[in-house]
Structure 1
Amino acid sequence: MITTLPTAVPTHLSGLRLSTILICFLMNMLDGMDVMVISYTAPAIASEWAEAGLPVAPTELGLVFSVGLLGMAIGAMFLAAQADVFGRRRIILLSAALMGICVLSTVYVPSVPLLMLVRFISGLGIGSMLASTATLTAEYAPNRTKDFWVSFVMAGYPIGAVLSGMAAARIIPDYGWRAMFVTAGLTTLLTLPIIYFFLSESLDFLVKARPNGALEKTNALLRKMGEQPLTDLPPLSVTVAKASVAELFTPNRKSATLLLWTCLFLSFATLYFLTMWIPKLAASTGMSMNLAIYAGTVFNLGAFFGIVSQGYMSARLGLQRVICGFLIGTAGLMVLFGFVSGSVWLLVLFGLIGFGIQGGFVGMYSLAAKLYPTHVRATGVGWAVGAGRIGAVVGPIVGGLLIGIGWSLSANFIAFAIPALLAGLITVLTHVPDPS
C-alpha cells in the first residue's frame, strides 16, 4: 500500500511547478495593470464628465483611489483567507473573475459613487490575488530557491504597471479612456480558462487540509508529475486546527506576527507615498514634464529588478538580512534625494529607490509564507498584506499633509526614510518559528 508522498517537499523545478509559478506571475502582472488603469484614465474621465455637466473634484478622485486600496486590504485579509478553506486555485479563479468583470464594467459607470463601488470590488480581487499567488508559489517552489520564486512572482506587479502605462499612452489619446478599461478587463477575463485548465492546486493544501476528493486530486497531480499514485493519504503527524486569525497569535507566533505586520505597514506607507507623489515631486524639482512622467515608469522598472535581485540574494545570504539591507539602503537614497534636483540623475535615483523599497517589502511575502504552516498560510499572508495596506492608505495622506503645510522635498523624503529604516531594523529582529 503506497501512502508516502515523495514530492511533498519539492527539491527541483518540474514542468508542472514551473507552469504554476508562471501562471502566478501572469496574474500578478494583471494585478499591476488593473491597479494602475484608474490612475492613467482618471484625468480623461474627469474631463469628459466635466464637459457633460458632472464635474469631478480632486477630492472625489482621491476617494476613488482610496476605496480601491481599501478593497485590496479587505480582499487580502478576508477573501484570500478562504484559500485555506476552499483551496488556492479556486480563490485565484474567483479573484481573476472579480477583477476582470469589474474593470470591464467600468466602461458603463456614469458617476463617482458607482466608480467607487466597482473599484472597491475589483480591489477585493486584486488584494486576494496577490496573497493567494504568493502562497501557492511558496508551496510549489523548490525549498532551496523558494525566496527567489516568490519574489519573481511578485515582480509581475510592477511589470504590469509599466506595460499598462505604455498601453495607456497609445490607447487613450486615440480611442478614449473606455478602450483602456475594455483592454484591461478582457485581458484579465481571458486568463480564466488558463487558470481553470492549467493552474494546479497545492499538494500541501490537498494533503494537509484534506478537502473533499483530496486523494483523487492528489493522485491526479502525482500522475502529472510522473509519480506513483497513493492508495491512501499519508497520516498527519499532528492534528490540524481549523484556519482562523487566532492561529496567527499562538504563543510561538504572536510576536513574529505583530512585528511582520508592523514592517509591512511601514514599508507600504513609504512605497505608496513614493508611488502617488513621484511625478509631482519630480516636476517640482525643476525636471521637465516629460521626464517627470517617465519618473514613475523608471521607478517601476527599478522595482522589477530589485524584487528579482532580492530573491536571488536571499536564497544565498538569508532572507531577513537581505530585506534589512534593501530597506536601509532605500532610506539612505531617500535622504540623498534632497541634494539632487532638476537633473536626469533624479531618474537614476528614482530607479534605485524603486529597486530598494519594492525589493525589500516584497521579501516580506516570502517571510510571511515561511512563518505560517500550510493550514493557515493563506490567512497569515493575507492578513499581513492587509495590515500593510493600511499603511498604503496612510502614507499618501500624510505625504499630502506635509506637502500642504510647506515641508520641503528633502524634508518629505527624510520623513518617509524613517519608516523604511525602522522596517529594515525590525525585520532582522523578527524570529521565524518552525511553521510545523
Structure 2
Amino acid sequence: MTSTEAPSRSWVLPLCWSAVLLDGFDLVVLGTVLPVLLAGHVWNMTAADATVVSTIGLVGMTVGSLTLGTLNESLGRRRVLIFSVTVFSVFTLLCALAPSAFVFGLLRFLAGLGLGGCVPTAITLASEHYERSGRPGTATTAVMSGYHVGAMATALLGILLIGPLGWQAMFVVGALPALVLVPLMIRYLPDSVAPAQRSRSSIKAALAVLFRGRMMGVSIAFWVTSFMGLILVYGLNTWLPEIMRQAGYPLGASLGLLLTLNFGGVAGLLVAGVVADRVGIKPATLGWFVVAAVMLALLSIKLPSVALYVAVFLSGSFVFSAQVLVYAYTTRAYPPDARATGLGWTAGIGRIGGICGPLLGGLLLTAGIVYPWGFYAFAVVAALAAIAVGVLNTVSRLPAPTVDQAGATVETSNQS
C-alpha cells in the first residue's frame, strides 16, 4: 500500500495525539471554571451543584467508553475516533451558551459521550500501528502525553482568559481546534492494521473474550485498577485549585499548581513508556502507583513554595502516567479482535472511579475538611491501585483467548 493509495502511518501519532489533547482540555476545564462559577454565584451554583455537574459529565464518558469502545470492532477505529472528536467538540462549544446549571450539566453529559470514546480508540489505534516495532508502550504514552498537554494548556488559558473574557471563553477555545482536526483526520488518518470483522458477531465474540473463563479475572483486575487510577486523575484535576484555595493560596497560584500537576504528567509519560518497554509493563505500573501514593501523602504537609511545586510536579508525574500504563497493559493483555473492546471497558468502568473522584472531593469540601484530608484520601486510593496491580500480575499470567474468524475463541499464550 503506497502513500498515494492510503493515509500514511506517519499521521497516526500526531492525529491521535491531537484528539487526546482536546480530551485533556476537557479534563481540566471544569477545574478552572468551577471556582469562578462558585465565587460569582453563576446560576446560584452551590458546591453540591458543582459536584452534580462534574459527575454527570463523567457518566456520559462512562457510557461513551463502553458503547463506542465496543463499536470499534464493527465500525473501525478511524470512524469511531472521528465521530468522538466531532461530538465532544460540538457540545463543548454549546457549553459557553448554557442558560442554566441544568442545561450546562446536560451539555456536559452529551460531550462526555464523545469524550468517552476518544481515549480508548486513539490508544488502540496508535498501539496497533506500532506493535510490530516493539514500541506499543511508548506509542501509548506518547499519545497520552497529549492528554496532559491539553490539561496544561487549559490551566494556562484559565489564567490568561477567564479574567478578561469570562469563563465562557474556555469552552469556545476548547472546541475551535476541531474545525481543523476533523478534516485532517478524514483526509489522513488510516484505520487499524489489525484485522477487523465488520459484523455484529465480531462484537459478540469480542465481549465473550472479556467475560469467558480465566480472562474474567484479568478483566476484573483491570477494571479495579482503572477505577482507582481515575479517582486520582479526575479528583485532582477537578478539585486541586479549590483544595489549594482552601489551604490559603490565591486562585492564580492554585491554577499554577494545576498547570504544574499536568506538566509533571507529561514529563512522567515521556519516561513511563520507555521504562515499561524496557523493564516490563507489570513492574512499571506497580512502581508508579506506589510512588504516587507517597507523593500524594506528602502534599498534605505545609511545604515551602518551591518544595510544594516540586511535590505537585512529581505527583503529576506518577499519578497520571500510572493510569496510562494501565491502558498500555490492557492493550497487551487482549487479542487484536477484542483489544478496543477490552480497553473501552477498562476505561469505561474506570470512569466510574472518575465519577467518584470529584464526588469524594466535593464531599470533603462540603464537610470543610478537603485540606489536608483530601490528599490523605487520594494517597489511600493510590495504594489500593497498587494492590490491584499486584493481583493483576498474578491472574494475567494465565493464557488469553483470541478470536478466530468464525467468532470462536482459541487459547493462546498471553504476552502481557
Change (3 A) 1:33 1:55: same
Which position in structure 2 is the counterpart of 1:209? 197
CA displacement at 1:202 relative to structure 2: 0.7
Distance 1:45 1:331 in 2: 31
Q: Is the aligned partner of 1:360 residue 2:349?
A: no
- Contact 2:55-2:359 within 8 A present in 1 as well: no
Q: What's the CA shift for 1:257?
A: 0.4
- 1:229 corresponds in structure 2 to none
Q: Corresponding residue for 1:153?
A: 143
1:333 corresponding residue in structure 2: 295
**Mapping of residues 47-196 of structure 1, within 5 Å:** 50=42, 54-143=43-132, 144-196=134-186
The one-letter code sitting in structure 2 at the alignment partner of 1:375 is D
Change (3 A) 1:387 1:276: same
User: Does residue 1:258 correspond to 2:258, yes or no?
Assistant: no
Q: What is the rounded CA distance, in whole Å, between the counterparts of 2:254 and 2:39 in structure 1?
A: 22
The 1:93–1:248 alpha-carbon spacing in structure 2 relative to 1, beyond 3 Å, is: same
**C-alpha RMSD of matched pairs (Å):** 2.6
- Runs (4 or more) in structure 1 with deviation over 6 Å come to 46-49
1:203 counterpart SS class = coil
Alpha carbons 1:285, 1:342 under 8 Å: kept: no
Structure 2 partner of 1:350: 312
The question of whether the paired residues in 1 share the 8 Å contact of 2:74 and 2:202 is answered with no
Q: Which residue of 2 aligns with 1:12?
A: none
1:128, 1:375 → 2: CA distance?
17
Q: Distance in 2 between matches of 1:20 and 1:350?
A: 32
* CA distance in 2 between partners of 1:335 and 1:180 (Å): 32
2:55–2:358 CA contact under 8 A, matched in 1: no
Q: 1:250 to 1:124 in 2, by over 3 A?
A: same
Distance 1:91 1:323, change over 3 A: same
Mapped to 1, the partners of 2:125 and 2:204 lie a distance apart of 19
Q: Does 1:37 align with 2:29?
A: yes
One-letter code aligned to 1:176: G
- 1:22 equivalent among 2, 14, 26: 14
Query: What one-letter code is carried by the residue in structure 2 that aligns with 1:209?
Result: Q
Number of residues paired by the alignment?
A: 392
Query: Are positions 1:271 and 2:233 aligned together?
Result: yes
Relative to structure 1, the CA distance from residue 402 to residue 301 in structure 2 (aligned partners, 3 Å threshold; closer, same or farther) is same
Aligned to 2:379: 417
Change in 2 beyond 3 A, CA 1:262/1:306: same
Q: Give the superposition deviation at 1:108.
A: 3.0
How far apart in 1 are the matches of 2:292 and 2:34?
30
Gaps of 5+ in 1: 6-14, 213-238
Q: 1:99 touches 1:188 (CA, 8 Å); kept in 2? A: no
Alignment CA distance shift 1:276-1:45 (3 Å): closer
* 1:103-124 deviation per Cα after TM superposition (whole angstroms, max 9, x unaligned): 2222332222221121111111
Indicate how the Cα distance of structure 1 residues 338 and 397 shifts in structure 2: closer, same or farther if over 3 A, else same: same
Residue 412 of structure 2: aligned partner? none
CA contact (8 A) 1:327 1:421 kept: yes
Question: Does the CA contact (< 8 Å) of 1:285 and 1:341 recur in 2?
Answer: no
Question: Residue 227 of structure 2 contacts residue 352 of structure 2 at CA under 8 Å; is this kept in 1?
Answer: yes
Aligned partners of 1:274, 1:45: CA distance in 2, in Å? 18
Q: Which has the larger radius of gyration?
A: 1
TM-score, length of structure 2 as denominator length: 0.86
Please tell me whether the aligned partners of residues 145 and 269 of structure 2 are also in contact (alpha carbons under 8 angstroms).
Answer: yes
Give the Cα–Cα distance (whole angstroms) in 1 for the partners of residues 12 and 76 of structure 2: 14
Please report how far the alpha carbon of residue 188 of structure 1 lies from its aligned counterpart in structure 2 after TM superposition: 1.8
Whole-angstrom CA distance in 2 between matches of 1:241 and 1:348: 46
Contact 2:221 2:389 (C-alpha < 8 Å) held by counterparts: yes
**Percent of aligned pairs with the same residue?**
28
Partner deviation per Cα, 1:184-203 (whole Å, 9 max, x = no partner):
22212321111101000012
Q: Residues 47 and 197 of structure 1: is their aligned pair in 2 closer, same or farther, counting only changes over 3 Å?
A: same
- Counterpart of 2:262, as a letter, is N
After TM superposition, the structure 1 stretch with the greater mean CA deviation from structure 2, 58-67 or 32-41, is 32-41
Match of 2:285 among 323, 327, 331: 323
- Residue in structure 2 matched with residue 235 of structure 1 by the alignment: none
SS at the partner of 2:99? coil
What is residue 354 of structure 2 aligned with on the other side?
Answer: 392
Separation in 2, partners of 1:56, 1:336: 32
User: Which amino acid is 1:345 matched to?
Assistant: A
CA contact (8 A) 1:141 1:149 kept: yes
Which residues in structure 2 correspond to 1:294-309 (within 5 Å)? 294-309=256-271
Q: Deviations over 1:32-66 (max 9, x none)?
A: 1234334434455667885xxx5333322322221
Q: Could you tell me how far apart the structure 1 residues matched to 2:38 and 2:381 are? A: 34
Seen in structure 2, the aligned counterparts of structure 1 residues 112 and 26 have a Cα distance that, compared at 3 Å, is same
TM-score, normalised to structure 1's length?
Answer: 0.82
**1:79 is aligned with what amino acid?**
L
Residue 93 to residue 364, structure 1, CA distance change in 2 (3 Å):
same
1:167–1:332: structure 2 CA closer, same or farther, 3 Å change rule? closer
